């Protein structure tokens, strides 16, 4: 008989029901924790419903070698996550990891990308990820649809993609299977730590728990100081263009172009330092579409059916932040731009750390202390 | 199912739908001509394969996709019918013309 946990005091409150919060809540509930998720409504600035859905290892970790290892581990754990979500919910998240390409439209662009990978692998303590540099003919052998302007590409066999909307749906559907108390339209206004218990309050009332995880994306900047943490974010807006569905023509995801399992083609990867509004900038989407057509000329035949823009959850250096409050142990924060790629790390490893109440060494590198090196030196 | 308003019956053209000749008003869109001729489904979806027909008639819903003169993914409601036009059911996803073998 299902247990009605709505009125019981939870063991832990997760603030935020996006991919980060949902991965954490699902992972915690699988261990039997009583989990309450406080989420905003459908108009929340939710990167989880706007992202490009790549599981991407290639190039991650320049300036931060630990991030390469973390991302590789995530890609390796993805089949487990997809299988467990399928078993919990019957939902197939469309996991596909055939490797992925960065397609370059000039020799200079290819050299710049190769140079970045060489620098990544030369860092002290660097963790290697496999990659191949391919010329035009070698690229065409694997991506027959490329156009004559493609100079070459970089292929990494660890890369892949999923259907991220179904991933989001599967995590939320799995809440039911594990008795997660999910509350939409419950924006958190204040968090008051008192005697080892956190009281989270909003217009809807309050919830109390001995543990709390801030997984509120951009909202973490406002909430973190309430539990003695600091979550500096930078503004990063991205736009995505989606075409009508077409028969499969692109076997592999490309970092800026991918064909979904349902046939639509997504074109993405713009980045602006724009935190002001979400109005589409058509000059930017035109450049994205033009570059995509130069890579794959047959895209010219397709109509665009949707475009959107969204804010990334972007930390100061672009890498994830995981941290427990020193002033108020039991309060954690987690934020990452790569909520899709890292979902298994959040559902498994980060959940283990939160349950244990300590961050293991492999995760300690991701604390905000890395932003304060000059102050420590 | 649909009847033409009397003031809309003007010059006539003939086109084919899956090889069957259909007479339409020269001012019709392809989608309107198909509905007036009693055609209810003109495509199948790429995901489930279920049959679909013209719905919004204003370029938004993409339910009226057909192949016109050999070109797939045409929105029937946005194309005016022409004499001799060859319209076909679009089955599943549109195959891009330069589609390479996977």
Does B48 lie at the interface with A, CB-CB under 8 angstroms? no
Across the interface, of B47, B75, B93, the residue whose CB is closest to A247 is B93
Its pTM stands at 0.89
Q: Answer yes or no: is pLDDT of B1 > 80.
A: no
pLDDT confidence band for B98 (50 / 70 / 90): low
Question: What pLDDT shows up at residue B4?
Answer: 80
Rounded distance between C-alpha atoms, residue B97 and residue B102, angstroms: 14
Q: B98, A298: Cβ pair inside 8 Å?
A: yes
Q: A144, B101: Cβ pair inside 8 Å?
A: yes
Does B7 lie at the interface with A, CB-CB under 8 angstroms? no
Q: Would you mind telling me the total number of residues written for chain B in this entry?
A: 102
**Do A227 and A191 touch, CB atoms closer than 8 A?**
yes
Per-residue tens of pLDDT for chain A, all 377 residues: 444 444 568 999 999 999 999 999 999 999 999 999 999 998 888 888 889 999 999 999 999 999 999 999 999 999 999 999 999 999 999 999 999 999 999 999 999 999 999 999 999 999 999 999 999 999 999 999 999 999 999 999 999 999 999 999 999 999 999 999 999 999 999 999 999 999 999 999 999 999 999 999 999 999 999 999 999 898 899 999 999 999 999 999 999 999 999 999 999 988 888 777 888 888 999 999 999 999 999 999 898 999 999 999 999 999 999 999 999 999 999 999 999 999 999 999 999 999 999 999 889 999 999 988 665 55
Q: B46, A303: Cβ pair inside 8 Å?
A: no
Stretch (H or E) spanning A142: helix A136-142
Number of domains in chain A: 3
Q: Looking only at Cα atoms, what is the longest distance across chain A?
A: 66
Q: ipTM above 0.85? A: no
Q: A297, B98: Cβ pair inside 8 Å?
A: yes
pLDDT tens per residue across span B60-90:
899 999 999 988 899 999 999 999 999 999 9
| Residue that finishes a domain, picked among A311, A328, A350 | A311
Question: What pLDDT shows up at residue B99?
Answer: 47
Q: A263, B96: Cβ pair inside 8 Å?
A: no
Do β-strands A211-214 and A12-15 pair in parallel, antiparallel, or remain unpaired? parallel
Stretch (H or E) spanning A239: strand A237-243
Domain definitions of chain B by residue range: 12-88
A86 within some domain: no
CA-based nearest distance B46→chain A, Å: 7
On whether both A142 and A170 belong to a single domain, the answer is no
On whether both A132 and A258 belong to a single domain, the answer is no
Question: What pLDDT shows up at residue B102?
Answer: 45
**Do A368 and A232 touch, CB atoms closer than 8 A?**
yes
On whether both A244 and A121 belong to a single domain, the answer is no
On whether both A247 and A305 belong to a single domain, the answer is yes
Q: What is the DSSP string of B54-81?
A: --SSSSSS-TTEEEETTEEEEEGGGSB-
A141 within some domain: yes
Q: Which residues pair with A13 in a beta bridge?
A: A36, A212
Question: What pLDDT shows up at residue A5?
Answer: 46
A74 within some domain: no
Q: Which residues of A touch B79 (CB under 8 A)?
A: none
A363 within some domain: yes
Which domain, by its residues, includes A111? Answer: 100-157
Q: A263, B46: Cβ pair inside 8 Å?
A: yes
Across the interface, of B62, B75, B100, the residue whose CB is closest to A249 is B100
A352 within some domain: yes
Report whether CATH 3.10.20.440 matches the domain B12-88: yes
Burial A58-82 (b: 16+ CB within 10 A, else e): bbbbbebbbbbbbbbbbbebbeebb
| CATH number of the domain within which A184 lies | 3.50.50.60
CA-based nearest distance A125→chain B, Å: 39
On whether both A136 and A276 belong to a single domain, the answer is no
Report DSSP state, residue A300: G
Q: Is A210 exposed, middle or buried (0-12, 13-18, 19+ CB in 10 A)?
A: middle
Which residues lie closer than 8 Å to A62 by C-beta, 6 or more apart? A116, A119, A120, A123
Rounded distance between C-alpha atoms, residue A46 and residue A312, angstroms: 9
A110 within some domain: yes
Question: What pLDDT shows up at residue A7?
Answer: 54
Q: What percent of chain B has pLDDT over 90?
A: 70
On whether both A228 and A243 belong to a single domain, the answer is no
Q: B94, A245: Cβ pair inside 8 Å?
A: yes
Average pLDDT of chain B is 90
On whether both A114 and A216 belong to a single domain, the answer is no
Question: What pLDDT shows up at residue B101?
Answer: 42
pLDDT confidence band for B100 (50 / 70 / 90): very low
């Amino acid at each position: 008989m299902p247990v009605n946990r709505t009125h019981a005091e939870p063991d832990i409150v997760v603030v935020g029901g996006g991919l980060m919060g949902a991965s954490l809540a699902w992972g915690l509930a699988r261990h039997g924790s009583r989990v309450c998720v406080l989420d905003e409504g459908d108009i929340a600035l939710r990167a989880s419903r706007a992202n490009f859905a790549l599981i991407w290892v290639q190039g991650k970790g320049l300036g931060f070698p630990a991030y390469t290892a973390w991302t590789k581990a995530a890609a390796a754990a993805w089949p487990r996550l997809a299988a467990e979500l399928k078993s919990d919910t019957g939902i197939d998240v469309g996991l596909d990891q055939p490797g992925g390409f960065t397609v370059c439209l000039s020799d200079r662009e290819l050299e710049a990308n190769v140079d970045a990978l060489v620098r990544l692998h030369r860092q002290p303590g660097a963790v290697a990820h496999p990659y191949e540099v391919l010329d035009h003919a070698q690229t065409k052998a694997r991506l027959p649809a490329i156009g004559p302007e493609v100079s070459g590409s970089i292929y990494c066999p660890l890369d892949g993609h999923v259907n991220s909307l179904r991933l989001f749906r599967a995590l939320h559907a799995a809440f039911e299977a594990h008795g997660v108390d999910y509350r939409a339209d419950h924006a958190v206004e204040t968090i008051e730590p008192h005697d080892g218990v956190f009281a989270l309050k909003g217009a809807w009332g309050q919830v109390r728990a001995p543990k709390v995880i801030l997984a509120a994306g951009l909202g973490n900047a406002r909430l973190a100081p309430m539990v003695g943490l600091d979550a500096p974010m930078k503004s990063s807006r991205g736009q995505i263009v989606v075409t009508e569905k077409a028969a499969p023509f692109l076997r592999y995801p490309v970092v800026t172009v991918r064909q979904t399992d349902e046939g639509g083609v997504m074109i993405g990867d713009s980045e602006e330092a724009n935190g002001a509004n979400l109005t589409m900038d058509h000059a930017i989407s035109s450049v994205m579409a033009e570059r995509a057509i130069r890579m794959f000329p047959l895209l010219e035949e397709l109509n665009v059916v949707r475009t959107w823009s969204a804010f990334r959850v972007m930390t100061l250096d672009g890498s994830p932040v995981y941290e427990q409050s020193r002033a108020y142990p039991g309060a954690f924060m987690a934020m990452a731009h790569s909520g899709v790629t890292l979902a298994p790390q959040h559902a498994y490893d980060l959940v283990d750390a939160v349950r244990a109440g300590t961050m293991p060494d492999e995760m300690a590198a991701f604390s905000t202390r890395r932003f304060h090196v000059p102050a420590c030196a | 199912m649909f009847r033409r308003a009397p003031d809309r019956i003007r010059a006539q053209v003939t086109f084919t739908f899956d090889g069957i000749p259909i007479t339409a008003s020269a001012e019709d869109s392809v989608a309107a001509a198909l509905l007036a001729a009693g055609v209810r489904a003109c495509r199948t979806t790429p995901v489930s394969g279920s049959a679909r027909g013209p719905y919004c008639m204003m370029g938004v819903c993409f339910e009226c996709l057909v192949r016109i003169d050999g070109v797939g993914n045409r929105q029937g409601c946005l194309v005016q019918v022409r004499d001799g036009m060859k319209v076909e059911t679009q089955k599943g996803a549109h195959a891009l013309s330069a589609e390479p073998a996977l």
